[in-house]
Structure 1
Amino acid sequence: MWILRNLLFTICIALRCVTSAVGVIHVTGYVGSIVKVSCSYDEGYESYEKYLCKNNCGDSDVLVTTSESRKNKYRIHDDKTARIFTTTISDLHSADAGKYWCGVTKTGKDIYTEVKLKLVRDSCCDTVTKVQSYEGYSESVSCPYESQYQNSLKYICRGNRPSTCLQQALITSDTKQNGRFRLDDDKVSGTFTVTINSLVKSDSGSYLCGVQRNSDLDVFSAVELKVKEWCCVKSTQINGTVGHPLIFQCPYPPQHRDNRKFLCKGDHRNKCTDMVTSQSRFAIEDNGSSSSFSVMITKIQADDTGTYWCGSDSQWSHGNYTRIQLSVVFQQHTGNGASTVETPAQISDAGQYVVYAVPAVLLVLICVLVLIVYKCKRQKIKGNEAVVNRNTSKTGGLEEVMGTAENGIYGNDEVVRYSEKQTSKSACNDYHDAGEDEPDYENCTQSEEIYCNEDFHKANRR
């Protein structure tokens, strides 16, 4: 059957007798993406088999049929109500470009519609409009289009892939408002405008403005948006001490000399509190000759820590402000009248070490006393060593007598008293000999040796 059909088709091509329902269908797709080829047919052919083929539509050229709706990367669907069958080709490559045929099987010769598929790169565009803005600002992106597309759908998406732009659109002309995005279409001037409010740095990147076309690829224009960090004349960090005054300077452009100067506090400039009008401790004094004004805080408090903005332009124009990071520290007094400054983090740990703090004067006194006691002990030890060394030879005989007395040979305690007097006498003499200051010993005596007589020794020898 297919061989006969192929033969008839070849004859018809040569004789230009192919029946076309709508003429040649032109389709353009993106490399790496998918494309849909839709072909209509006449009433009465709803139940007939439809197919898509390539080249001469031989058996090997048939890509997919409605009797086998899925084959490789081809899918086919027949909408019998609308009398349109659609073939989807996915994962497109450059080799997929070329001529195709939509076919309707019937007795005799089939009905064919020619399709020409063109493939382009999935990127855009040769010309890019660059837009620059700052964090927190609102920015509008203008997207022109031709007059024949006045009533077409408009949209914008991120990135530079036209094939998926409509599916990933941030906003379309049908919705007009979506979160921070708003779309306005001026059909007279042929331009639609997309406004992005409250810009953040992550909004930076590539965007595509798209205009939908049903018969061909959508029309796009490219925009590159760069969102910079909103900043100021300068950024600075200062420290203040609780209970003390603080003065710092805020520069401003010379052209703002007559503008109202102000200071506000808050992490974000759009949500900050005017400190001069809300706090009596804050005051401003302008110095026009130096293009700066002074901010005075009469008495710093712990909760003054934070971010401040001082400026001279109520419109918050870029570059006209000073951003100040104020850190507040506490002053701690020590016992000797001195003072040190501690940060809040250090003060939170103060309870761990304040118990061990010793005033400096008391510490010095303790050290002096320790040195005096140490010196006295050293002197006493040296004196005792001298006495012992000098009396070693003199007391040899006495030790023998004392040893005998301890064994009970002499019960008379006079001998003991004799020994004590001798020792005291020797000690006193030794201190004088050593050249030391004379100790105040009341028991020292210079009397003669009372018990040293011949009779006493003779009695002992017996």
Structure 2
Amino acid sequence: MWSFQNLLLTICIVLRCVTSAVGVIHVTGYVGSIVKVSCSYDEGYESYEKYLCKNNCGGSDVLITTSESWKNKYRINDDKTARIFTTTISDLHSEDAGKYWCGVTITGKDIYTEVELKLVPDRCCDTVTTVQSYEGYSESISCPYDSQYQNNFKYICRGNLPSTCLQQALITSNNRENRRFRLDDEKMLRKFTVAISNLTQSDSGSYLCGVQRNSDLDVFSAVELKVKEWCCVKSTKVTGTAGHPLTLQCPYPSQNQNNRKFLCKGDHRNSCRDMAMIESRLTLRDDIYSNSFSVTITKIQADDAGTYWCGSDSQWRVGNHVKIQLSVVSPQHTSTVPSTMEIPGKTTTHNKTTTQNRPNKDAGQYVVYAVPAVLLLLICALVVTVYQCKHQKVKDGKAVMNRNAENEEGLEEVTAGAENNIYGNEEVVRYKQQSACNNYDDAGEDEPDYENFTTSEEVYCNENFHRR
């Protein structure tokens, strides 16, 4: 009896192992994520209870049954139409790896299917392809795959977590266009490409190209996309004053000397307007010796504020342009200070008007103290001026009186002197006349000397002669 029972038990165990060995289901999951274990059963067992167990499937080894559907981190669902029940295990840890059994409860020995669960770290990949591009450009990401996956489902996602990549797919081979993304599967080249248009810096980051496999983990390749700022020689900020002129400096590469130079306005270079073609207030001057051109706006207006692009390359190749952010301020309460436009290898300085719009909290106090002081100074200056004027008038009057007195005294002296001179001169004249006459008489004895006598002297001599 004992030998017969042992024989039956041995046969059951052998049959069970053989059945399990033939129907082993291999499942691979990522640590920290979830995994689904799907087990099929034969027709006629739709109404029977199903379960998932571990180890020897004793009472404590049963993890969940279809009679409760949710227990701890396990969920179970029985699709009776497809005759497949699926158990979902969440929050996987390394100790969850190992052997499991899918069971169907029947009379006698239950039906078992062996499941082997393997867990791997949730990351990818050992090799990463780097792709570089610039803002506003379009770029294609190439995703190679093996030939056996030509007809498999393909997709791409952001990040580097394979466990959630499919759920967060940006675009798939079933939906080839999605806004800025387009997927093309080149089966002959065994690769699919994903084109991204109108790139921005926010597109930079990690991407995963995925190929779905039904019986195992999906196959991934990693790509690192780096989107650089499109611009320019330099980005700069300039402030202008409304109603005043402003000059913008735009350097360019030496190989672009013969290219057409332009200044356009717009938030993005792809949609900016060429201002030199539509605005008469702009004057463009090219200096080939300094490899730069200047744009002068005669009178800045408030609506001139915005983003400008000046360049010398109609193809908008990187490094041939300058991005300028122009602000316009009101001319009230302005002060002129030098402003600088910084450009690699060159610094251009011009006058920039800065508006003082901040209220001065001490202005009222300043006026209260300053006005009386100014008035006091004005009054003092007025008093001093009046005093000096009066003093000068008195001084001038005394000077005039002194000059008059001096003139009168001088006149009296001149008059007295004149009288004295008259009488003195008369005696002298008489004496001279008498002497002359005497000389005349003496001369008559010899030879008369007429040369020493004047006509007047001769008259007087004759007068005296007749008197005698």
Q: Same fold (TM over 0.5)?
A: yes
**After the TM superposition, which residues 96-175 of structure 1 pair with which residues of structure 2 at under 5 Å, given as runs?**
96-175=96-175
What RMSD in Å do the two structures reach over aligned CA positions? 3.7
Give the match for residue 198 of structure 1: 198
Q: Is the alpha carbon distance of 1:26 and 1:254 closer, same or farther for their aligned partners in structure 2, counting shifts above 3 Å?
A: same
Which amino acid is the alignment partner of residue 201 of structure 2? K
- SS for the counterpart of 1:188 is helix
Which amino acid is the alignment partner of residue 73 of structure 2? K
The answer to whether structure 1 residue 319 and structure 2 residue 307 are counterparts is no
Contact 1:6–1:57, Cα closer than 8 Å, also in 2 = no
Q: Which moved more, 1:18-27 or 1:30-39?
A: 18-27
How far did 1:39 drift?
1.1
Contact 1:12–1:18, Cα closer than 8 Å, also in 2 = no
How far did 1:54 drift?
1.5
Give the match for residue 400 of structure 2: none
Distance 1:333 1:40 in 2: 85
Distance 1:316 1:29 in 2: 48
Q: Which moved more, 1:324-333 or 1:286-295?
A: 324-333
Contact 2:157–2:165, Cα closer than 8 Å, also in 1 = yes
Q: Is the alpha carbon distance of 1:377 and 1:183 closer, same or farther for their aligned partners in structure 2, counting shifts above 3 Å?
A: same
Q: Deviation per CA, 1:124-174, whole angstroms, max 9, x where unpaired?
A: 111111122222222221111111111211111111111111111111111
- SS for the counterpart of 2:326 is strand
Contact 2:171–2:182, Cα closer than 8 Å, also in 1 = yes
Q: Is the alpha carbon distance of 1:8 and 1:71 closer, same or farther for their aligned partners in structure 2, counting shifts above 3 Å?
A: farther
Distance 1:300 1:68 in 2: 77
Q: Is the alpha carbon distance of 1:205 and 1:43 closer, same or farther for their aligned partners in structure 2, counting shifts above 3 Å?
A: same
Contact 1:171–1:181, Cα closer than 8 Å, also in 2 = yes
Provide structure 1 residue ranges, at least 5 long, that are not aligned to the other structure.
335-339, 358-362, 380-436, 439-462
Q: Deviation per CA, 1:54-81, whole angstroms, max 9, x where unpaired?
A: 2222222222222333222222222111
The answer to whether structure 1 residue 262 and structure 2 residue 271 are counterparts is no
Q: Is the alpha carbon distance of 1:367 and 1:309 closer, same or farther for their aligned partners in structure 2, counting shifts above 3 Å?
A: farther
Give the match for residue 285 of structure 2: 285
Task: Please identify which structure carries the higher helix content.
Answer: 2
Give the match for residue 90 of structure 1: 90
Which amino acid is the alignment partner of residue 279 of structure 1? E
Q: Deviation per CA, 1:400-453, whole angstroms, max 9, x where unpaired?
A: xxxxxxxxxxxxxxxxxxxxxxxxxxxxxxxxxxxxx89xxxxxxxxxxxxxxx
Contact 2:307–2:323, Cα closer than 8 Å, also in 1 = yes
Give the match for residue 229 of structure 2: 229
Which amino acid is the alignment partner of residue 251 of structure 1? P
Give the match for residue 381 of structure 2: 372
Q: Deviation per CA, 1:313-349, whole angstroms, max 9, x where unpaired?
A: 1222222111223344565699xxxxx9965674x98
Q: Is the alpha carbon distance of 1:309 and 1:282 closer, same or farther for their aligned partners in structure 2, counting shifts above 3 Å?
A: same
Q: Is the alpha carbon distance of 1:21 and 1:47 closer, same or farther for their aligned partners in structure 2, counting shifts above 3 Å?
A: farther
Identity of matched residues, %: 74
Q: Is the alpha carbon distance of 1:234 and 1:365 closer, same or farther for their aligned partners in structure 2, counting shifts above 3 Å?
A: same
Provide structure 2 residue ranges, at least 5 long, that are not aligned to the other structure.
335-350, 389-393, 396-468
Contact 1:51–1:63, Cα closer than 8 Å, also in 2 = yes
Distance 1:173 1:262 in 2: 43
How far did 1:375 drift?
4.6
The TM-score, its normalising length taken from structure 1, stands at 0.69
Give the match for residue 215 of structure 2: 215
Q: Which moved more, 1:162-171 or 1:59-68?
A: 59-68
Distance 1:345 1:368 in 2: 30
Give the match for residue 25 of structure 1: 25
How far did 1:235 drift?
2.7
- The alignment covers a number of residue pairs equal to 363
The answer to whether structure 1 residue 56 and structure 2 residue 68 are counterparts is no
How far did 1:95 drift?
0.9
How far did 1:372 drift?
3.1
* Structure ID, larger Rg: 2
The TM-score, its normalising length taken from structure 2, stands at 0.69
Distance 1:349 1:277 in 2: 41
How far did 1:289 drift?
3.4
Distance 2:287 2:386 in 1: 72
